Amino acid sequence: AGRGARPVANRPVAVGRPASNSRPVGGQQQQVQDLGRQLNEAKAMIETAEKERDFYFLKLREIEVYLQSTEFAQGSELEAMAKHIQGILYSTDEGEAENADAGHMDDQEYDQVSGHMNTLHVDEEETF
C-alpha cells in the first residue's frame, strides 16, 4: 500500500444508524408522524394521570392526618367510622390492614357506619 493510506480495519464504521441524509419515504413518513402523535398523546395522558394521583393522594393524606389527630369518644359511632376509614386507608390490595391500630369492623358495625355515611351531605361542587 502507498504512503498515508490507512488500513481498512482502523476506519470507524457506523452500524445500525441511517446516513444523515436519509429520510423516511412515503408510508414510513406517515408512520413516523403517527408514532410521534401517539407519543405526545401518551405523554399528555401520563401527565394528567400523575396530577390526578397527586391530587387524590394529598386528599387521602389530609384525611389520614385528621383521623390521627382527632380524639373521638370511646365506643362512639364516630370512633367506629374513623377506625373503618383508617382500615380502608391502610388496607393492601388483598384487603389486609397493615396497621393493627386501624381495627376491623364486624358486619353489624359496618352496616351502621355505612348507613350513616349514606346520610351525609355531599356537595357536588366540591368533588373532582
Between vectors from CA 36 to CA 33 and to CA 41, what angle results, nearest 5°? 125
pLDDT at residue 99, as a whole number: 45
pLDDT at residue 97, as a whole number: 46
Question: Can you give the pLDDT of all 128 residues of the chain as single tens digits?
Answer: 455 555 555 555 555 555 555 666 778 999 999 999 999 999 999 999 999 999 999 999 999 999 999 999 999 999 999 999 999 999 987 655 444 444 555 666 656 655 655 555 555 555 54
pLDDT at residue 93, as a whole number: 77
User: How many CB atoms are located within 10 Å of the residue 91 CB?
Assistant: 15
pLDDT at residue 35, as a whole number: 96
pLDDT at residue 21, as a whole number: 58
Element (H, E) at 91: none
Question: Rounded distance, CA 31 to CA 46, Å?
Answer: 22
Collapsing DSSP to helix, strand or coil, 97 comes out as strand
Report pTM: 0.49
